[in-house]
């Protein structure tokens, strides 16, 4: 039966470092190394929450202004602009909620300029609020730079990030040089995933992404991850692999858990959860989850059942 109680505020944990709203897993591209498909392809056709529900749910968020700075809500996907109510969501969220956007720029730039106040996507941070992912195998560099220039000139806070994939390193470094000459902030990201049978990336926990043995552990996260249907997941692995959620954004009773939760899927973690990275203050050494080990390996997954799908998009 539907819970008819008023939604009420949803406080985030004191150590919450990241809030992600995955508006949709739909995407106009099929990058071979898409991290959403590290283990298998996420369901791109599941129910997505309509704009008014996203606005109602995200408006519950409380305690976003923390000692280390404001935690923004990052709209992402897939390509978040493919959500039919993309602009309504941006314009409908209360101004106290700061918005970041991860995008491949697959939207009409002029429509963004016409419909969104650049201040809505701007905050005091050491990196841009609109973070463009440039994927050379799918995107045209000149078009990407042109669109970025248009948004910069309109007053948006925008920069480009690109993965240093082993097969694309030379092109990506040249693209960075060109962007810098043109005055565009272009940063590099470590490639995470398998390439020619080798796992790339720096991870805090050994074998976490091996896709081989699984172990029982306890795990706690510093992130609030909300899937396209409004379900809340304890980690990216659970989100992409359609595991049972830990709550729903529109459940009045949902509260962010601060403690450790048991997990038997260690070994199939998504790189996003266990990579060593910078936090939102650009301090290096942060990892999204903390893991406690409980026992020895409990299962040997059959390797031929585990598609090494990182190199498929
Ligand atoms: S990595 Fe490529 S396929 Fe995956 S969400 Fe980004 S643009 Fe889409
Ligand atoms: S151990 Fe890995 S799969 Fe399990 S909850 Fe933590 S990040 Fe997710």
Asked, for residue 41, whether it belongs to a domain, the answer is: yes
Secondary structure (3-state) at 146:
helix
Task: Note the pLDDT tens digit of each residue in 134-190.
Answer: 999 999 999 999 999 999 999 999 999 999 999 999 999 999 999 999 999 999 999
The response to whether residue 78 sits with its C-beta less than 6 Å from ligand 1 reads yes
Please tell me the distance between residue 209's alpha carbon and the centre of ligand 2 in angstroms. Answer: 10
- Out of 24, 30, 34, mutate this one to test ligand 1's pocket (max ligand atoms within 8 Å of CB): namely 34
The response to whether residue 272 sits with its C-beta less than 6 Å from ligand 1 reads no
pLDDT level of residue 44 (50, 70, 90 thresholds) = low
What does the alpha-carbon distance between residue 46 and residue 295 come to, in Å, rounded to a whole number? 36
Average confidence (pLDDT) over 271-288:
84
The response to whether residue 76 sits with its C-beta less than 6 Å from ligand 1 reads no
Q: What letter would DSSP give residue 309? A: G
Share of the chain above pLDDT 70, in %: 91
Question: Domain containing 135: what range?
Answer: 10-194+222-256
The response to whether residue 29 sits with its C-beta less than 6 Å from ligand 1 reads yes
Average confidence (pLDDT) over 250-264:
94
pLDDT level of residue 2 (50, 70, 90 thresholds) = low
Q: What is the CATH number of the domain that holds 84?
A: 3.20.20.70
Atom of ligand 1 nearest to the CA of 104: 7
Q: Say whether pLDDT at 283 is over 80.
A: no
What does the alpha-carbon distance between residue 191 and residue 236 come to, in Å, rounded to a whole number? 17
Please tell me the distance between residue 299's alpha carbon and the centre of ligand 2 in angstroms. Answer: 15
pLDDT level of residue 39 (50, 70, 90 thresholds) = confident
Please tell me the distance between residue 240's alpha carbon and the centre of ligand 2 in angstroms. Answer: 12
Q: Which residues line ligand 2 (CB under 6 A)?
A: 217, 219, 234-235, 237-238, 263, 265-266, 269, 273, 289, 291
Asked, for residue 120, whether it belongs to a domain, the answer is: yes
What does the alpha-carbon distance between residue 42 and residue 36 come to, in Å, rounded to a whole number? 7
Asked, for residue 282, whether it belongs to a domain, the answer is: no
What does the alpha-carbon distance between residue 209 and residue 140 come to, in Å, rounded to a whole number? 31
Give 1's contacts (C-beta < 8 A, 6+ positions apart).
none
Q: Say whether pLDDT at 300 is over 60.
A: no
pLDDT level of residue 42 (50, 70, 90 thresholds) = low
pLDDT at residue 52, rounded to an integer = 97
Q: How many residues does the structure list for the chain?
A: 313
What does the alpha-carbon distance between residue 175 and residue 13 come to, in Å, rounded to a whole number? 39
pTM of the model: 0.91
Phi, psi of 265 (to 5 degrees): -110, 10
Secondary structure (3-state) at 288:
coil
Atom 2 (ligand 1): residue with closest C-alpha?
31
What does the alpha-carbon distance between residue 268 and residue 37 come to, in Å, rounded to a whole number? 12
Please tell me the distance between residue 308's alpha carbon and the centre of ligand 2 in angstroms. Answer: 18
Give 166's contacts (C-beta < 8 A, 6+ positions apart).
191, 195, 196, 200
Atom 1 (ligand 1): residue with closest C-alpha?
34
The response to whether residue 30 sits with its C-beta less than 6 Å from ligand 1 reads yes
Asked, for residue 204, whether it belongs to a domain, the answer is: no
Average confidence (pLDDT) over 89-94:
98
Asked, for residue 305, whether it belongs to a domain, the answer is: no
pLDDT level of residue 132 (50, 70, 90 thresholds) = very high
- Out of 38, 75, 106, 135, mutate this one to test ligand 1's pocket (max ligand atoms within 8 Å of CB): namely 135
Nearest Cα neighbor of 160 from 189, 137, 197 is 189
Atom of ligand 1 nearest to the CA of 28: 8
Nearest Cα neighbor of 59 from 117, 4, 13, 7 is 7
Task: Note the pLDDT tens digit of each residue in 210-239.
Answer: 998 899 999 999 999 999 999 999 999 999
Asked, for residue 309, whether it belongs to a domain, the answer is: no
Q: Say whether pLDDT at 309 is over 90.
A: no
The response to whether residue 34 sits with its C-beta less than 6 Å from ligand 1 reads yes
pLDDT level of residue 244 (50, 70, 90 thresholds) = very high
**Closest ligand relative to 246 C-alpha:** 2
Asked, for residue 299, whether it belongs to a domain, the answer is: no
Task: Note the pLDDT tens digit of each residue in 45-82.
Answer: 688 999 999 999 999 999 999 877 899 999 999 999 99
CA distances from 150 to 3, 92, 154, 254 (A): 45, 24, 6, 41
pLDDT at residue 305, rounded to an integer = 29
Q: What letter would DSSP give residue 203? A: B
CA distances from 207 to 62, 118, 148, 196, 243 (A): 36, 42, 38, 17, 20
Average confidence (pLDDT) over 89-96:
97
Atom of ligand 2 nearest to the CA of 263: 4
222 close to 18: Cβ distance less than 8 angstroms: yes
* H helical segments located in 191-291: 236-240, 271-274
Asked, for residue 206, whether it belongs to a domain, the answer is: no
For the chain, what is the domain count? 1
């Amino acid at each position: 039966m539907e819970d008819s109680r008023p939604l009420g505020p949803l406080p985030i944990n004191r150590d919450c470092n990241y809030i992600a709203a995955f508006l949709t897993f739909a995407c106009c591209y099929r990058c071979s190394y898409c991290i959403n498909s590290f283990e298998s392809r996420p369901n791109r056709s599941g129910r997505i929450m309509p704009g008014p529900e996203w606005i109602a749910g995200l408006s519950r968020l409380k305690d976003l202004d923390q000692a280390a700075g404001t935690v923004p809500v990052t709209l992402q996907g897939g390509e978040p602009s493919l959500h039919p109510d993309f602009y309504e969501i941006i314009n409908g969220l209360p101004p106290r909620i700061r918005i970041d956007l991860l995008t491949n720029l697959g939207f009409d730039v002029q429509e963004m300029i016409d419909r969104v106040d650049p201040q809505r996507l701007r905050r005091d941070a050491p990196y841009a609020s609109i973070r463009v992912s440039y994927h050379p195998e799918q995107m045209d560099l000149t078009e990407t730079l042109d669109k970025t220039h248009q948004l910069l000139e309109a007053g948006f806070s925008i920069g480009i990030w690109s993965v240093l994939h082993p097969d694309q390193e030379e092109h990506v470094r040249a693209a960075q040089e060109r962007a810098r000459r043109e005055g565009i902030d272009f940063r590099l990201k470590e490639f995470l995933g398998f390439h020619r049978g080798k796992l790339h990336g720096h991870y805090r926990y050994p074998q976490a992404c091996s896709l081989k043995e699984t172990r029982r552990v306890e795990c706690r996260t510093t992130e609030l991850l909300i899937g396209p249907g409004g379900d809340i997941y304890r980690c990216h692995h659970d989100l992409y692999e359609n595991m049972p959620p830990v709550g729903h954004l529109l459940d009045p009773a949902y509260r962010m858990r601060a403690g450790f939760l048991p997990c038997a899927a260690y070994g199939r973690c998504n790189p996003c959860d266990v990579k060593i990275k910078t936090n939102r203050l650009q301090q290096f050494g942060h990892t999204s989850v903390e893991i406690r080990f409980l026992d020895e390996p409990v299962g040997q997954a059959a390797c031929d059942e585990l598609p090494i799908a990182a190199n498929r998009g």
